[in-house]
Amino acid sequence: MTKTRGDTRARILRTAADLFQRQGYGATGLNQVLAESGAPKGSLYFHFPQGKEQLAAEAVALAGGEMGARMASVMASAGGAEAAVHGVGELLAQGLRESGFRDGCPVATVALEQAGGEGPISDVCQVTYDAWLSGLTEALRGWGAADEEAPELAELVMSSLQGALLLAQVRRDTTVITSVARRVGSVVARSTGRNA
C-alpha cells in the first residue's frame, strides 16, 4: 500500500506530539521529529509551512484533544463525581506507568515553557485546558454541583490531579495520584451530594 501525503503529515504530527509531551518545546528539534517519524526531509515545511511553532501548536492540540476524549469517556462511564475523579486519576496513572514514567500530561511540559507568553502555542495550551475544565464542569453539574460551584470544583480536581501527576513522575510512583484522587473525590462527592 502506498503511503499518502496525509499519512506523512499524520506521522510527523504524532511523533511531534509524543516528543513535545516528553521533552518539551525547546528540547525537541525538527531534525529529531523527522528522524523519528521517518518522514522525508522536505516534508516538514511542506505540511507545516510556518515551521516548528505551527507543528507544536497542532501537536499539542492533537494530544490534548485525545486526552480530553479519554477523560470524557471515563467520566461518562462513572456513576458519579467521586468515581469520575478516581477514574481520571487512574487514567493519568496508567499512562505514566505504561510510558516508564517518561510521559506526563500531554500539554503540561509545553504549557510550562510557554507560560506568560503569547502566540499560537500558548493559545492552544489555554484552549486545551479550558476544554478539559469545561467538560469536567458540565459533568459535575450533571452530578448535582451548583452552577456557581462547579467551575471551582473542576479547577480543584484538575489542579490537584495535574500536581499529583507531576509528583508521581518525579517519584516514579503513582501512589500519590491514587491518594489525591481519593481525597479530592470525597470533597467533590460532598459538594455534589452523591457518593457514587
Kindly calculate the radius of gyration of the chain based on its CA atoms and give it in whole angstroms: 18
Q: Give a yes or no: residue 47 inside a domain.
A: no
**Cβ–Cβ under 8 Å, residues 90 and 78:** no
Tally helices (H) and strands (E) across the chain.
9, 0
Distance CA 46, CA 183 (A): 49
Identify the segments of the chain with pLDDT beneath 70.
1-6, 194-196
Is 24 part of a structural domain of the chain?
A: no
Does residue 174 form part of some domain? yes
Residue 43: inside a domain, yes or no?
no
Q: Give the pLDDT confidence score for residue 2 in this predicted structure.
A: 42
**Does residue 1 lie within any of the structural domains?**
no
Is 126 within the bounds of a domain?
yes
The CATH number assigned to the domain holding 89 equals: 1.10.357.10
How much is the pLDDT for 1? 39
Is 3 among the domain residues? no
In a domain, 7, yes or no: no
> How many domains is the chain partitioned into structurally?
1
- Cβ neighbours of residue 100 closer than 8 Å, sequence gap 6 or more: none
Range of the structural domain that residue 63 is part of? 52-192
